[in-house]
Amino acid sequence: MLYLQKILNFIACEDTFIHMKKSLNCKGKLLDLSTPVIMGILNITPDSFYDGGQITGVDSALRLAESMLIEGALILDIGGQSTRPGAKSINSTEEWKRIGPSLISIKKHFPDAIISIDTFHSDVAKNAVEEGASIINDISAGEFDKGMFSFVLQRQVPYILMHMKGSPENMQENPQYENVVSEVLNYFINKVSHLKMMGLNDIIIDPGFGFGKTIENNFSLLKNLSLFQILDCPILAGVSRKSMITKTLNITPAEALNGTTALNTIALLNGASILRVHDVAEAMEANKLVIAYQKSK
C-alpha cells in the first residue's frame, strides 16, 4: 500500500526521523516531555459539549486556571470557539473578544504558566502569542487559515496539528475511511514532513478523537496510538468526556469521568505525551500510576 511505502520513506529520512522528541521550546522555557504532562481545558464558550458556559468572565477563568495549576496541569489550553459536532464557527474578532481578557489576566497572575491557544485563526494566534501564549492548538492543521503555517514558522511556536475530516459543522454527518489508522497516519506524514522541511522545530500531533470519526474509528486510533510514534512528535490525546465514552456506556458527558480516566490510561500506555482534559486531578493520578507501572521491574 502507498501509505506503507511513505512510512518506510519517512523512517529512512535521517533528517526527519531520529528519536521521539522529549521537550518543547515554549518561548525559551523547555517543557520536559520525558514523562507525560497534563493540559487543562479552559473553554470560554457558551456552547461547548460539556463545559459550555462554565467560564462566564475573567474571574471564573482565573479561578479555574488556578485550580488546574494547583492540581498539576503544566499547560492551560484556552479556547473561545466551540468545536463540538454541529457547531458553527465564529469570526476571529469575536473569538479574540472571548479569550483575550482571560489570557491577559491569567498571564498576569500566573506568569510562569504555559498557555496554549485553541484556534484556527492566524490573527488570533498572533494576538495570543504577543500576550504571552506559547503554544498554538489548531484543529484544522492549517487548512482553515493558510496564514497559520507562516505565522508559527516565523515565531517558531510549538504547534499542535490535529486530524479532522470536514469541519465541526459537518464532520460527524457520515465519516468514512477504508482504514482510519493508515489514513490518519498518512495525513500526518505529509503534514509533518512539510512543516519540518519548512523549518518548524516543535510539532505535536493529535489524532482528533471525535473529529470526523465513528466510535469504532476512535477506538481503532486509540488501540494503534503507538504507531504514531514513528513521526518523532509528541502525541496529544484528547478523549475527555467525549462521545466514544458516552455512547459506548450510554451515559452523559457529566457522568463520563470514570470512562475518561480509563481511556486516558490506555492512551498513556500507548505513547501519549500530553493528555488534554477537563479534570486535571484525576488525569494526574492516572499519569502517576502509569509512570510507576512502567518503571517497575
Residue pLDDT, tens place only, 191-202: 999 999 999 999
State residue 168's pLDDT score.
72
State residue 119's pLDDT score.
97
State residue 257's pLDDT score.
97
* The pairing of beta strand 23-26 with beta strand 29-32: antiparallel
pTM score? 0.90
Based on the residue annotation, tell me whether 155 is a catalytic residue of this protein.
no
Query: Of the residues 191, 276, 288, 295, which is catalytic?
Result: 276
pLDDT surpassing 80 at residue 229:
yes
Q: What's the mean per-residue pLDDT of the chain?
A: 90
Based on the residue annotation, tell me whether 63 is a catalytic residue of this protein.
no
Tens of pLDDT, residue by residue over 69-113, are 999 999 999 999 877 776 678 899 999 999 999 999 999 999 999
Query: Of the residues 98, 242, 288, 295, which is catalytic?
Result: 242
pLDDT surpassing 90 at residue 35:
yes
| CA distance linking residue 292 with residue 272, whole number of Å | 16
State residue 68's pLDDT score.
97
Range 184-191 contact pairs with CB under 8 angstroms and sequence separation of 24 or more: 184/208, 184/221, 185/3, 185/7, 185/227, 185/228, 186/2, 186/3, 186/6, 187/163, 188/161, 188/163, 188/228, 188/231, 188/233, 189/3, 189/6, 189/7, 189/10, 189/231, 190/6, 191/141, 191/142, 191/161
